[in-house]
Chains A and B, each alone.
Chain A
Amino acid sequence: MQFKLDRRERASRRMLLLTPLLAVLLSVITSSLLLLILNKPVGSTLHSFFIAPFENFYSITEVFLKFGPLLLIAQALAVGFRAKVWNIGAEGQMIIGAIAASSVPVYFVDSTSGWLLPAMIALGAAGGMSWAAIAAWLKTRFNANEILVTLMLTSIALQLLYYLLLGPWKDPMGFNFPQTVMFQNEALFSPLFSGVRLNTSIIIPIIFTVAVWLFMERHFGGFKLVVGGLAPQAATYAGFSAKKAVWVSLLLAGFAAGLAGMSEVAGPIGQLQRSVTSGYGYSAIIVAYLGALNPVGIVFAAFFVAVLQIGGDVALVSANLPISAVHVFQGLLLIFYLATYTLVNYQIRPLRHASSSTTEGQPT
Chain B
Amino acid sequence: MSTLEFFLAGTFSAATIFLLAALGELVAEKSGVLNLSVEGMMAVSAAVGFVVTYETGSHIAGFAGAGLAGVLLSLIFAITAITFLANQVATGLAVGILGLGLSALIGRDYESLTIASSAGINIPVLSEIPLIGAVLFQQHPVVYLTFLLALIIGFTLKHTRLGLAIRSTGENPHAAQALGFPVFLIRYCCVAFGGLLAGFAGAYASTIYTPLWADGMIAGRGWIAVALVVFGTWKTGRIAFGALLFGMVSLGELIAQSMGAGIPSQLLSSLPYIVTIIVLAVISTDRARMRLHSPFSLGETFDGTEGR
Contacts and interface: CB of A to CB of B under 8 A. Distances in A.
B34 to A, nearest CB: 9
Interface in B81-117: 81, 84-87, 89-91, 93-105, 108
Interface string A148-181: 1101110110011011001100000000000000
Given A145-B230, A330-B101, A339 B223 contact: no
B48 to A, nearest CB: 14
Contacts of B154: none
B104 A338 contact: no
Interface in A273-331: 282, 285-286, 289, 322, 324-331
B287 interface: yes
Interface stretch (B16-24, B119-127, B270-278): B270-278
B97 A330 contact: yes
Interface string A117-133: 00000000000000000
A109 interface: no
A214 interface: no
A322 B108 contact: yes
Range for the number of chain B residues in contact with chain A? 35 or more
A327 B284 contact: no
A162 B266 contact: yes
A361 B90 CA distance: 25
* Interface secondary structure of B, over-half rule: helix
B84 A167 contact: no
Given A289-B90, A322-B104, A322-B108, A138 B97 contact: no
Contacts of A285: 93
Interface stretch (B54-62, B193-201, B243-251, B300-308): B300-308
Given A145-B230, A145-B284, A148-B230, A327 B277 contact: no
Contacts of B104: 322, 324, 327
Nearest to B77: A335
A138 B284 CA distance: 10
B220 interface: yes
Contacts of B79: 339
B84 A149 contact: no
Interface string B183-206: 000000000000000000000000
B280 interface: yes
B264 interface: yes
B248 to A, nearest CB: 18
Nearest to A335: B94
B279 to A, nearest CB: 9
Interface of B: 36, 76, 79-81, 84-87, 89-91, 93-105, 108, 215, 220, 223, 226-227, 230, 264, 266-267, 269-270, 273-274, 276-277, 280-282, 284-285, 287, 290, 303-306
Closest CB pairs A-B (n = 3): A331-B98, A327-B101, A324-B104
21 contacts: A138-B281, A141-B285, A147-B36, A148-B226, A148-B276, A156-B270, A159-B269, A167-B264, A289-B90, A322-B104, A325-B105, A326-B101, A328-B98, A328-B101, A328-B105, A330-B97, A331-B97, A331-B100, A335-B76, A338-B80, A338-B94
